């Protein structure tokens, strides 16, 4: 019905004014949490850096198989099975057993409840596969096991990459999965990505180990280089502490030596281990190893039972800050390699914004002129509604601090067309009704009512397509689908509430005229 209660008019007015005010926050600064919001510009509009990272899962696979050797030894010890020729080579674990135990091994690996070989119900298969070649068993990850491992590594790496970038304070980073072993990082507004690359290129695998000699350690030892001098030291393979035991890490200035250090705090388990290791290792060097290189190897002078300590190594304040950040965010499950890098300059962004704005203005003006010539006063109402519709769209995007990209601008332009299309359908239907109905109020009411189905069908199907694009697409496609989807919702609100309200006010005052449209 062509009737609006006072309550509906007030609600429509308040909603419109609210989003108009929110949209205006992109032009003015307000000292308010709600109004002090802005639309963020994407990489293609303001420039920035683009990094495509690839996860190297080889160390993870080798580590998992290395851990399996301990499980195998314990299993064979329990079963009194003699194990021989156990070795890890080319992502395969090989070993030999006596002939009488071979079937037992195969049965154990193929058992759904096996302790040696985890079973994936969703894949209906095991993590590991086993085959017998030349009287030796060869164990490697199954196809499904590799898929699960890569997915797990990618999820962990994605979260840690996000933590590291968020700690730096980069504005609106875009961090996405690509396949099952790649991560895309878009950093709008960042022209020099060297620090980011340095942080993302480090696994940040921290361990505390004693410096020893090759023939004096029952756990085995290895040669590692110092990070700064490239000198070598023999370090025990026994890990006293790892980065998993860290609660916090912060850069500090040592007041005694006036040196920049990284102060760390351990959890309860870590503090207990550290206290025990330092009490029994007084006089020994404790190597602090990061990603296979020794940062420093201080001599233990006294027991450290407080659960806190310092890492020194000739740091600048920036390098100490970055190291603390890496330690807080946690170690990556696998190394990341940068396989593609692009830097988009701000000039390209300005050109893109200018081109998009020009296209929007030209399209908008042409539509406004055409509608006004075609429908006169109702064309004016449509044009006014169209302007309000754009403010509503911008207001919603601003409220959620959405990131606007060039495809997003294309979605806004398409919204203008969709909004006009709805009004054209309504006015053309009203013209048809006026041919058979002399009462203007009834004709206009019938026009709105009978055109509703066609308008809803067109907009709802487009909205469904936008939703599918948003969830199935990525990057530019998401930007386009977001503005298009929001634009459809604001269009329906504008057409059936704002435009209809203005039409009702005009028709009610001029209902006696012979020809309104």
Mean pLDDT within 353-377: 83
Structural contact between residues 296 and 311, judged by C-beta atoms closer than 8 angstroms: yes
Token pair 């350690």 is at which residue?
217
- pLDDT surpassing 80 at residue 24: yes
The phi, psi pair for 478, rounded to 5°, reads -60, -40
Question: Which residues lie below 8 Å from residue 32, measured CB to CB, with a gap of 6+?
Answer: none
Mean pLDDT within 291-316: 84
Q: What is the structure's pLDDT at 487?
A: 92
Structural contact between residues 449 and 515, judged by C-beta atoms closer than 8 angstroms: no
- pLDDT surpassing 80 at residue 248: yes
Q: What is the value of pTM for the model shown? A: 0.64
Q: What is the structure's pLDDT at 191?
A: 65
CA distance 104 to 79: 10
CA distance 117 to 426: 66
The phi, psi pair for 165, rounded to 5°, reads -70, -40
Mean pLDDT (the chain) is 84
Q: What is the structure's pLDDT at 493?
A: 92
Q: What is the structure's pLDDT at 460?
A: 92
Question: Which residues lie below 8 Å from residue 295, measured CB to CB, with a gap of 6+?
Answer: 227, 288, 289, 311, 313, 323
SS3 assignment, position 124? coil
Q: What is the structure's pLDDT at 376?
A: 86
- Strand order in 92-96's β-sheet? 84-89, 92-96, 136-141, 128-133
Q: Which secondary structure element, helix H or strand E, spans residue 233, and what is its range? A: strand 232-236
Helix (H), strand (E), coil (C) string for 149-209 = HHHHHHHHHHHHHHHHHHHHCCCCCEEEEECCCEEEEEEECCCCCHHHHHHHCCCCCEEEE
| Least-confidence region, from 56-70, 208-222, 249-263 | 208-222
Helices of type H across 239-345: 268-280, 317-329
**DSSP 8-state symbol, 514:** S
CA distance 209 to 238: 6
Token pair 């109020």 is at which residue?
441
The phi, psi pair for 170, rounded to 5°, reads -65, 140
CA distance 356 to 348: 12
Confidence label for 14 from pLDDT (cuts 50, 70 and 90): very high
Most distant CA atoms of the chain, gap in Å: 108
- pLDDT surpassing 90 at residue 103: no
Give residue-wise pLDDT tens across range 436-464.
887 888 888 888 888 888 899 988 999 99
Mean pLDDT within 232-237: 88
Q: What percent of the chain has pLDDT over 70?
A: 93
Beta bridge partners of 235: 211, 222
The phi, psi pair for 254, rounded to 5°, reads -75, 115
CA distance 362 to 367: 9
The phi, psi pair for 287, rounded to 5°, reads -80, 130
CA distance 305 to 215: 30
Give residue-wise pLDDT tens across range 401-431.
887 888 888 888 888 888 888 888 898 898 8
Between the alpha carbon of residue 340 and those of residues 185, 418, 439, the distances in Å are 10, 38, 68
Give residue-wise pLDDT tens across range 258-273.
888 888 888 888 889 8
- pLDDT surpassing 60 at residue 137: yes
Highest mean pLDDT among 59-73, 220-234, 378-392: 378-392
Give residue-wise pLDDT tens across range 169-220.
666 688 888 888 899 888 887 766 787 888 888 888 888 899 987 666 666 7
- Interior angle at CA 384, CA 508 and CA 420, nearest 5: 95
Give residue-wise pLDDT tens across range 147-156.
888 888 898 8
Q: What is the structure's pLDDT at 488?
A: 93
SS3 assignment, position 46? helix
CA distance 40 to 63: 42
How far is the first Cα of the chain from the last one, in angstroms, to the nearest whole number? 19
Q: What is the structure's pLDDT at 305?
A: 83
CA distance 472 to 463: 14
């Amino acid at each position: 019905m062509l009737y609006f209660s006072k309550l509906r008019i007030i609600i429509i007015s308040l909603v419109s004014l609210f989003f108009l005010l929110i949209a205006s926050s992109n032009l003015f600064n307000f000292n308010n949490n709600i109004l002090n919001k802005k639309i963020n510009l994407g990489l293609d509009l303001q420039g920035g850096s683009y990094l495509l990272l690839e996860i190297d899962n080889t160390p993870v696979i080798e580590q998992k198989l290395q851990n399996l050797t301990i499980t195998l030894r314990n299993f064979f010890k329990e079963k009194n099975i003699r194990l021989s020729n156990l070795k890890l080579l080319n992502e395969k674990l090989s070993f030999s057993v006596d002939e009488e135990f071979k079937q037992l091994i195969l049965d154990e690996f193929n058992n759904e409840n096996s302790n040696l070989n985890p079973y994936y119900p969703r894949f209906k298969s095991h993590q590991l596969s086993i085959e017998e070649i030349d009287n030796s068993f060869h164990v490697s990850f199954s196809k499904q096991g590799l898929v699960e491992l890569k997915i797990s590594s990618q999820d962990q790496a994605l979260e840690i990459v996000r933590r590291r970038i968020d700690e730096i304070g980069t504005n609106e980073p875009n961090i996405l999965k690509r396949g099952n072993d790649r991560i895309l990082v878009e950093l709008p507004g960042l022209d020099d990505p060297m620090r980011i690359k340095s942080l993302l290129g480090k696994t940040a695998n921290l361990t505390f180990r004693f410096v020893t000699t090759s023939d004096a350690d029952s756990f085995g030892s290895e040669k590692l280089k110092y990070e700064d001098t490239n000198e070598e030291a023999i370090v025990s393979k026994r890990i006293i502490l790892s980065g998993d035991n860290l609660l916090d890490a912060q850069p500090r200035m040592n007041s005694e030596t006036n040196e920049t250090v990284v102060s760390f705090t351990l959890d309860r388990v870590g503090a207990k281990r550290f206290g025990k290791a330092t009490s029994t290792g007084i006089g020994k060097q404790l190597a602090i190893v990061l990603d296979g290189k020794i940062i420093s190897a201080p001599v233990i002078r006294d027991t450290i039972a407080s659960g806190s300590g310092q890492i020194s190594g000739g740091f600048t304040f920036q390098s100490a800050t970055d190291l603390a950040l890496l330690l807080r965010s946690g170690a990556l499950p696998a190394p990341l390699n940068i396989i593609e890098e692009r830097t988009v300059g701000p000039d390209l962004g300005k050109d893109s914004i200018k081109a998009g704005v020009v296209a929007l203005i030209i399209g908008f003006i042409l539509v406004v002129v055409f509608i006004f010539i075609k429908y006169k006063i109702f064309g004016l109402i449509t044009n006014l509604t169209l302007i309000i519709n754009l403010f509503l769209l911008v207001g919603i995007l601003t409220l959620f601090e959405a990131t606007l990209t060039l495809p997003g601008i294309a979605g806004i332009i398409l919204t203008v067309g969709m909004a006009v299309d709805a009004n054209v359908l309504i006015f053309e239907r009203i013209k048809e009704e006026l041919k058979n109905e002399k009462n203007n109020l009834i004709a206009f009411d019938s026009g709105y009512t009978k055109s509703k189905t066609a308008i809803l069908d067109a907009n709802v199907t487009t909205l469904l397509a936008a939703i599918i694009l948003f969830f199935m697409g990525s990057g530019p496609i998401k930007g386009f689908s977001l503005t298009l989807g929001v634009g459809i919702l604001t269009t329906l609100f504008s057409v059936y509430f704002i435009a209809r309200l203005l039409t009702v006010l005009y028709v009610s005052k001029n209902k006696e005229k012979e020809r309104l449209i």
